[in-house]
Copies of this chain bind each other. A is one copy, B any other.
């Protein structure tokens, strides 16, 4: 456990996914991707794959199954999550306002498995700054032979961001449904900045 090095988390507590068809003794009910699986998925993601179709999902799943147990839905969820968090990160993460600018470190936000690709400093716009899928042309990710050419005219001019505006509604609905467990009267804080 060096402190300077990379502590490869290896995600391995119940990581024995290699049971093949047995499916026994898997005490953890949650899929725990292996390193290879993650790598493959990440590569695909970086290659521009964001929302694989059903058949793609199945193929990916099949391919990944050699590394450990996996289901199609895992792949499905993985892409969903990965994409969502990529977005989310741009919104939440490190949006240090103009207030204070401590240029202490540039790696303010953690990158879970981001393989060195553009991480432009985001503005906290709720939309827009996405869909910028980069397109690679020849991706030789796998030991197989055929490398499909990828037509890269995506343009991704998708402005399909459905404005899920939740400004004023959520504020109250949140409290009405979520509630708060406080036995004390609503303290009137000086939270005016909110």
Contacts and interface: CB of A to CB of B under 8 A. Distances in A.
27 contacts: A3-B115, A5-B35, A7-B9, A8-B107, A27-B105, A44-B191, A46-B182, A47-B182, A48-B180, A51-B174, A54-B171, A66-B100, A71-B108, A72-B96, A123-B179, A134-B179, A135-B175, A135-B179, A136-B182, A137-B175, A139-B175, A142-B191, A151-B187, A154-B186, A157-B164, A160-B162, A160-B164
B54 A152 contact: no
Contacts of A86: 181
Copies of this chain, count? 2
A159 to B, nearest CB: 6
Contact of A54 (B7, B71, B77, B91): B91
Nearest to A45: B180
Given A72-B171, A194-B59, A12 B4 contact: yes
A119 interface: no
Contacts of A184: 46, 48, 133, 135, 154-156
A17 interface: no
Contacts of A120: none
Q: Chain A, interface size: which category?
A: 35 or more
Interface in A94-132: 94-97, 99-100, 102, 104-105, 107-115, 122-124, 126, 130-132
B135 A47 contact: no
B73 A94 contact: yes
A160 to B, nearest CB: 5
A104 B145 CA distance: 36
B6 A6 contact: yes
